[in-house]
Each structure stands twice: as structure tokens, then as C-alpha cells.
Structure 1
Amino acid sequence: MAALSSMAISCLQSHSRNESYFLAYKPSQFSKPLFINPSLNKPRVSISFCLKPSDNDEMQIRQESAGEEEEEYWVVTAVRSRYNEIVIVDTVASRYLLLDSTKNVHSLVNKGGQNWTGCYWDEFSSLPPIIPNGPIAIYGLGGGTAARLMLELWPSIQLEGWEIDEILIEKARGYLGLSELEKPTSKGGSLRVHVDDALSPSQDVSGRYAGIIVDLFADGKVLDQLQQVPIWLDLASRLMPNGRIMVNCAGIEEEKAATNGKPQLLLGDSVWEMNSTIKILSEAFPGQVSWKRTPDSQGLNFLALTGGLPHLSDWSKKVPIRLSETVQQWKLCETS
């Protein structure tokens, strides 16, 4: 997840009477998780919207405070579902999906056909070479950002994306190109979308997946259910032999804002112990969890990987060159 920078607000006609809302914008400090789109090169802030019914069809937007540098963006659609406040915004370079009260970015689509994001989504594309042949589940599909790059890099891959919010999927199909990802690739790869609760016990089908990507958040935090050992054991039961789970674990709550509103970076091989999700994973799979941290420019997110530390040199040779250096940054979780 990420946040956009301060931008000048423009008005856009709503596409439906049911999508007419009043949106108030103000910049604020990121909630975790986060990332920066390098092309924006602006201070890290999130966009806070307050959705309220409007009396007319036109999208009304009020800018409550402006940043020092401004870049135009347009609200494409905004609607409240059972699970989310959903806002899709455009900039010149990209389109973003903002969710829930934090309005962190949960998906992005770059314009011009570039599917690399410079963010943790790219890391998920390193998973296929270190798992058996078989389908990969994405729990927390959002608008399909991770799936889009994975299908480009591994066009024969079979993906199953899970998202609980039916309206979010509807908007992603209409505005984020998700429907195109559901069509088979030239190599037979595909994305099958499930609108359901990925963590429901009814989904426990033993040995179903070669890999599972977990990117499940609400209100800027990893889902509370994922702070329990039994749920991870249930998810592991869905894996084929030698299958792996890769997890977006967000950041460290204890990190305090330093100068210029930037979080203080905590370093060291045991820093993973300050991330609650990785700690739970390590309890569930002792000695079998690896971790890495994205750089400050990508949001300081932690990632975790089950199944023990892969042979990093071999792994590096099997991924696209853009990922070859980053996969060598994985470390086994070892207590201090």
C-alpha cells in the first residue's frame, strides 16, 4: 500500500448517481503499510477522504490544505461498499485504488504499459521459481497490481485472486483493467477471481496451491486474524509439498516520526522481531521463515517467506534481472 503526494484537485463528472459523494482532501502522515511511486518524487503523505452524499450528480471535491508542490489528480469514481470506502484516482502517469479510512493505495496501474511499480508488489513476482508447478493464490487481490506483473513475467502461470469486496472487484474491472487480466494469455496463463473470504475455513482445500501470496489489510493494518498461529497453520495446509507463503507484513508500529515527518529507520538482523506478523509466522513455522525489508523509497515494508531460506544465488539467476539483486536480500529469521 502506498500514499499519494499533495496534489491540486480537479473535478470529474461522476459516472453514476450512486457514486455521487463529497470528498475532502488533506495530506497526512502515512499509516503503514505504504510506498512511494518514484515517478512522483514527493513527500510521503496519504490522501484522507471523507465520503458524504451529494445533492447532485457532479463529483464535488474540496481541498482543505495544499502541499508546497502540487500535481493534478482526478477522482474517477468514489463509492462506499459494505467493506470499504473505495476511491479511484487518476494522475498523468498512473491510476490508483485507495481503500478504507486510511486511503492508502492498495493497487495502481501505470499508464503506458509499464507494469513494474518500484514497490513491494514487484517482490511477489519472484515467488514462482522457488515453488512447485501449480496454481498460486493471491489473498487480497485488490485491483490486480501483483497479478498483472506476474502474468507478464510468467505468462503460463495460473493465478487465483481472492477479494472479499464484490463492489471493489466491479470497480477494478471497470476502471483498473482487471477484466483484461481474466482473459487467458498467449501462453495459457490466467487469473481466476474469487469474491469470497479467503480466510474462511470453507476454503481449506488440502494441497491446492503451489504458493500463496498474502496481502490482507484493513484500516492500514494487517488483518487481526493473521495475528494468530492457527490461521497460518490452516493456510499452510492448503499448500502442495514444498509450497511457500509470501506475505506483506507492513512496517513497525514502534518507529517514530523523525525530522521532516520521515520515519526513523531501525536496522539490524533482529529488527524483524518488532514486526508482529513475522513474529507470529515464526511461532507457526519455527526456523522456516525468512524476511526482508523494502528500502525507504518503497515504504519500509517487511516481507516474509515460509519454507526456509532458498538458495539465494540460484534464485537470483531464475528471476528477471530487475529482481536478481533484491532476492539476495532475504534472511532467515534468527532470534537475537
Structure 2
Amino acid sequence: MDVDKGESVSRSAKGKRERVRVQVDAFAKRLIVDETFASLYRPETPATGCVWDALAAPLLALPPRRRRRVLLLGLGGGSVARIVRSLAPEAIVVGVEFDPEVVRQARAHFALDELDLEICIDDALAVLRREKRRFDLVVEDVFIGRGDAVHKPDWLPHPGLDLAAGLLAPGGLLVSNALDEASSIAGALNSRFPGLIRIEVEDYDNRIFVAGPATLDARTLRAAVAADPVLSPSLGILRFRDWRRLGRGSRN
């Protein structure tokens, strides 16, 4: 079926939905992986109006000269990578994706190859253990499972976030996308980094945690997003909070 003609739902010969498929409507193309909304692509803009904007936004907390190397764990269809590329055109962007079928669909329908990425089809933990380069930004967006049962693998938060932190250049930022594991992810980052921000996205249960130096500040990051032509349209759906200023009852 031609995915450019209305909504596309690929099906196997037995009529069952495939693990990885593309849905198309007048607004965007969506990558569905194991019945989970994994990526969104709108050719006219890098921004998604969704969680991926929050995952890429922390790059704006770094000065342009510090946006040189970015590691994306859980590349998916390239939603975060597309925003990162627009914010840092000259950066080396490494995207790690475990599922080769996800990469194949992203190349076929999401213009992934236009982003000039270094794509690594491998297990994210294995990459963390062998990678020697240092990065200005590491984004952890790794989930396993199916549908509403999606969750983090057992190597997160430990040792995964410890290994990711070890790959940061001085002053670099580590971003993690969490659902039910938000408390444990936040605790692990809070114990290791002097600066920690939580980003909430309207209508989504995700909690995006941004960890870095003591100078990391929610108000400053929000102002940077407001001033950015790519991400400013999404400002209304994003809420930035300094973790240590949140009351215990708000840390859920």
C-alpha cells in the first residue's frame, strides 16, 4: 500500500498488524512500533508538537559552540534527530536503534537519510559500554514492551545512566524520557548531577529529565525555547521545572 495516500496500516499475509508500521493522515506520518507511538514526521517542520520536542529542547541550554556531538539512544523514526539537526547543523549526531525494521521504515517514509546521521543498529547498552567519544548531549529514549505495557529495560537507570553520564563532555547534558520509572530515573540523576530539570508535555504522561551542571536552570531553558524559531511554537505544551524546587507531592 502506498503510505502517501491516506492512512496506511501494513498487514501481514495472515491479516495481523505488523510490529512496525506507518500511519498517514493530513497532519503527519506516524511510526507505530509494537502498538506504541514511536515517531512523528511533518515534512514542513522539524518540530512535532509532542514529546520529541521536549527531548531535543535541552540542546538549547548549551551555547552553539557546545552543540558539536550528540548521542541519541533510541533513534526510532528520527523525530528527535530532525530537531537536533535543525538546531545544530554542523553537529556529529549518532543515532542508536536496536530494530533494523524501524530504521528501514524511517528511511523509506521519514526521510531519515536527509539528516546526515551516524546510524548504529545495535543494543544501546552495548554501545554505551564500548563508545569512547565524548558528547555534549546524550538523549536516552529507550523503551521495550508493547502498547500500554511499555517500560524501561532492566539496565535503566543503572548501569545505563551511569555509563551515559561517563560519555558526557565537561558541562554536557544527559536527557532521559521516563514513564512509570520517572521516580527512579529522577533519583539516579539527582544523585549524580548538581542540576536537574523536569519537562512535562501537555496530554502526555512522559516526564523528561534533563541533568547537567549547577548552572542548568528551567527558566533559562524555557526562555531559550521561546526564542528559538523551530521550537517556540511548542512552548505552550511544555512545562519546565527545576527538580529541587519541586515539593515532594509534585515529584510524580
TM-score interval, normalised by the smaller of the two chains: 0.7 to 0.9
Percent of matched pairs sharing the same residue: 22
Partner of 2:164: 235
Matching residue of 1:291: 198
Q: For 1:79-125, what per-residue CA distance to the aligned partner results, in whole angstroms no more than 9, with x for missing partners?
A: xxxxxx2122222322111112xx011011125x1332111101233
2: distance between equivalents of 1:153 and 1:88?
26
Change (3 A) 1:159 1:175: same
* Alignment of structure 1 residues 243-322 onto 2, 5 Å: 243-250=172-179, 252=180, 275-283=183-191, 285=192, 287-296=194-203, 299-307=204-212, 308=214, 310-319=216-225, 320=228, 321-322=232-233
Partner of 2:54: 123
Q: RMSD in angstroms over aligned alpha carbons?
A: 2.9
3-state secondary structure, aligned to 2:123: coil
Alpha-carbon distance in 2 for matches of 1:202, 1:281: 17
Could you say if the C-alpha distance between residues 110 and 328 of structure 1 is closer, same or farther in structure 2, counting changes exceeding 3 Å?
Answer: closer
Match of 1:99 in 2: 33
Superposed, which structure 2 residues align to 1:128-277 within 5 Å? 128-131=59-62, 132-182=66-116, 191-200=117-126, 203-206=129-132, 208-219=134-145, 220-228=150-158, 230-250=159-179, 252=180, 275-277=183-185
Q: CA deviation at 1:174?
A: 1.3
Taking a change above 3 Å as real, the CA distance of residues 287 and 91 of structure 1, as seen in their structure-2 partners, is: same
Following the alignment from structure 1 to structure 2, what is the Cα–Cα distance between the partners of residues 136 and 206? 13
2:30 counterpart SS class? strand
Structure 1 residue 276 displacement after superposition: 3.2
> Unpaired segments of 5 or more residues in structure 1?
1-8, 24-49, 52-77, 79-84, 183-190, 254-271
Q: 1:130-176 deviations in whole A, cap 9, x for unaligned?
A: 34342001100001011112222332332111111122212211122
DSSP 3-state at the match of 2:197: strand
CA 1:122/1:286 → structure 2, altered by over 3 Å: closer, same or farther?
closer
Counterpart check, 1:329 vs 2:240: yes
Question: 1:202 offset after TM fit, Å?
Answer: 6.4
The question of 1:109 aligning with 2:41 is answered: yes
- Structure 1 or 2: more helix by fraction: 2
| CA–CA separation in structure 2 for the residues paired with 1:148 and 1:202 | 22
Which structure's CA Rg is the greater one? 1
TM-score by length of 2: 0.77
Q: How many residues align?
A: 229
Q: Output the CA distance in 2 between the equivalents of 1:211 and 1:89.
A: 30
